[in-house]
Amino acid sequence: MKRLASADRVFILTGAGISAESGIPTFRGVNGLWRNYRIEEVASPEAWHRDPRLVWEFYSMRRRVAAAAKPNAGHFALSKLGDTIGDKLLLCTQNVDDLHEQAGSRNVVHMHGELFKSRCDTCSRPPFPDSETYDPPAEIPRCHCGGRIRPHICWFGEIPFHMDRIYENLQRCTAFIAIGTSGQVEPAATFAAAVGDHARSIYIGPEEPANASTFTEVILGKAGDVLPSLLDGGD
């Protein structure tokens, strides 16, 4: 990959792969989460309506796993890039863990929500920090409005967050770099195809993603191995 120039406006998209070296399972790889849980049973509005306790059991397990994880060299490389190029970087993640923030990245755009936040499923109260675990037989926490407290996660069938800001930055960026995402879930899977003609698009991961043909370049390697040298230095 040609080195990033100081004039580059960089859009970084991360997926579960960047947290894999921190011990957080991906979704579709070996031991992936969707090998052990059915999406429709734990990560959809219908699942929440049908069995909110099972949904909280799933997200409580994910909170415990993420709370024990530490950022890896890939997260720190992106944090350092942010320190170097400032507001010329937009870091967008599909991940709901907080490892980018723990590594020092700021203004992270969590398009699928945040694991350590919850919100009311009824009123418009803003999402709030919540690292509690609610395993059965714990009661489903209630809002003062009477609604049930749910994980602040974008479930299948719901609209991801910050999409206007994401598409605006996709159009303005000169370098789009996707890291650790299998390219199987919309809308992130078509971000590379949505950048302007003037931008280059690079994928970084140990295996080709399903949308590899939409990138100008694919770099095979693990995030923790590749990112520190790849992103170091400007012109």
Q: Which residues are catalytic?
A: 112
Under rule CB under 6 A, residue 171 binds ligand APR:
no
The H-or-E segment that residue 85 falls in is helix 73-85
Cis peptide bond upstream of 45, omega within 30 = no
Give whichever of 9 and 162 is closer to ligand APR, judged by the CB atom: 162
Q: Does 21 bind ligand APR (CB under 6 A)?
A: yes
CB crowding 118-147: b at 16 or more within 10 Å, else e:
bbbbeeeeebeebeeebeeeeeeeebeeee
Q: Which helix (H) or strand (E) holds 145?
A: none
- Using CB under 6 A as the criterion, what x/- string covers residues 75-104 for binding ligand APR? -------------------x----------
Assigned token pair, 43: 């990560």
- Binding mask 103-122 vs ligand APR (x if CB under 6 A, - otherwise)? ---------x----------
Which of these ranges, 60-68, 140-148, 194-202, 205-213, lies near ligand APR under the rule CB under 6 A?
Answer: 205-213
Q: Which residues bind ligand APR (CB under 6 A)?
A: 15-18, 20-21, 26-29, 32, 94, 112, 180-182, 184-185, 205-207, 209, 222-223
